[in-house]
Structure 1
Amino acid sequence: MNTYYIVRHGKTIWNQEHRTQGQKDSPLTEKAKQDIVLLRERLKNLNIDLIYSSDLKRAHETANLLELGLDIHLEKGFREIDFGVWEGMTIDLIKSNYSELYENWKENPEETTFIGGENMTKAMERIQKTFWNIDQMHSGKNILIVCHAMVIKLMLIHFLEAPMNKMFNIHQGNLALNKIKTENKEPKILSINDMSHLED
Structure 2
Amino acid sequence: MNTLSPEQVSLASIAAFGRSFPWASRWPEAVRQDQPEAQRITRSAFTTNERALLLKLRGLAAEFLATPKRAAETYDCGTRSGGGGEFHFRCTTTTVIGTWHEWHPVAWWDNGEPKQWRDGALLAEAKVTYRRLQQWAESMPASIREHAHAWDRAYPVDTSDPIALTALAVSLLVDDALTPAPKPEPR
TM-score of Structure 1 vs Structure 2, range by shorter chain: under 0.3
Q: Structure 1 or 2: larger helix share?
A: 2
TM (norm. structure 1) is: 0.23
